[in-house]
Amino acid sequence: MAPLKIGYWDIRGFAEPIRMLLKHLNIEFEETRYGFGNDSEESFPNRDEWLAEKFTLGFEFPNLPYLFDGDFKMTESVAILKRLARANGMIATTEPALSYSEMIEAMVIDIRNRLVYVIYAENSGTPEEFEQKLADLRERLETSLGQLEAFFQKHGSQWVAGDKLTYVDFLAYEYLDWYRVFVKSTPIFEKFAKVSDYMKRFEELPSLKEYIASDEHRSASCLSPFARIGHRWAKE
Ligand SMILES: N[C@@H](CCC(=O)N[C@@H](CS)C(=O)NCC(=O)O)C(=O)O
């Protein structure tokens, strides 16, 4: 059977939980990584490479990331992750673990989107106004991490669905890690021992330890060069 094929920008972005899940499962996959043009040129960054293909691939809802799985193809990052999780036993199957994990999935996507809206905003204001927005993000993160800490405390679980690692942990790890990378939030994480242990536990998974520590992951840009901060072309 042909290997799975993932298409996305040449960054971590919304594809990284999918890549990590496939690596964890030791499933072979191919990737098309779209670039943003040549960073020495005036037109940089641009989406031309992707836009040249976007409407030619036969997707119902053309977007990145995408998945080709044999004859089947789809977009939407969380839906892709869930398809792969269902096929490989990486999803909770009993209540209340399923409900708890889906609740945390939604909460983590909210946390991710909050960061993305600020960092990609076309007009995020003066440097001082932008700093204030980052400070607001840090404050809201602290509230969310406090709630997650209390959740782990109450349930005494290793992972969000109990003692079983599921796809939600791949979302939670990646998007919480963006905060550690971008908004100088490491001291906030340090206040929450159980959340910090959770992040460490994920990093120590034998299937992922090497990848997470590698330049392929650690030095890759989380976001695209259209973001105000947090990519390797960052000007701030
Ligand atoms: N809800 C979608 C959002 C996808 C999305 O916003 N993709 C961005 C990169 S993270 C993109 O550049 N898409 C290509 C496009 O809009 O043509 C998902 O989670 O996959």
CB of 5 closer than 6 A to ligand 1? no
Mean of pLDDT over the chain: 93
Q: What is the CB neighbour count within 10 angstroms for residue 221?
A: 19
For the chain, domain boundaries: 4-87, 97-214
pLDDT at residue 235 greater than cutoff 80: no
- Closest C-alpha residue for ligand 1 atom 17: 63
- Closest C-alpha residue for ligand 1 atom 3: 76
CB of 77 closer than 6 A to ligand 1? yes
Q: Report how far ligand 1's centroid is from the alpha carbon of 65 (Å).
A: 6
pLDDT at residue 147 greater than cutoff 70: yes
pLDDT digits (tens, 9 = 90+) for 17-50: 999 999 999 999 999 999 999 888 889 899 999 9
Q: Report how far ligand 1's centroid is from the alpha carbon of 123 (Å).
A: 20
Structure tokens at 20: 């990590």
Q: Are 70 and 2 in contact (CB under 8 A)?
A: yes
Residue-level pLDDT at 74: 98
pLDDT at residue 131 greater than cutoff 90: no
Beta pairing, strands 4-9 & 29-34: parallel
Which numbered atom of ligand 1 lies nearest the CA of 80? 20
Mean pLDDT of 67-76: 97
133 to each of 16, 63, 129, 143, 182, how far by Cα in Å? 25, 28, 6, 16, 12
Lowest mean pLDDT among 29-43, 74-88, 97-111, 190-204: 29-43
If one compares 44 and 92, the residue with the highest pLDDT of the two is 92
pLDDT at residue 170 greater than cutoff 90: yes
For the domain spanning 4-87, the CATH number is 1.20.1050.130
| CATH of 97-214 among 1.20.1050.10, 3.40.50.150, 3.40.50.740, 3.90.950.10 | 1.20.1050.10
- Closest C-alpha residue for ligand 1 atom 1: 76
CB of 13 closer than 6 A to ligand 1? yes
Residue-level pLDDT at 234: 45
Q: Are 194 and 40 in contact (CB under 8 A)?
A: no
CB of 54 closer than 6 A to ligand 1? yes
Which numbered atom of ligand 1 lies nearest the CA of 116? 10
99 to each of 42, 92, 216, 221, how far by Cα in Å? 49, 9, 34, 32
Q: Are 43 and 56 in contact (CB under 8 A)?
A: no
Q: Report how far ligand 1's centroid is from the alpha carbon of 156 (Å).
A: 35
CB of 31 closer than 6 A to ligand 1? no
- Closest C-alpha residue for ligand 1 atom 10: 14
Cα dihedral 192, 195, 196, 201, rounded to 10, equals 160
Which numbered atom of ligand 1 lies nearest the CA of 62? 17
Q: How confident is the model at residue 158 (pLDDT cuts 50, 70, 90)?
A: very high
pLDDT at residue 222 greater than cutoff 90: no
CB of 63 closer than 6 A to ligand 1? yes
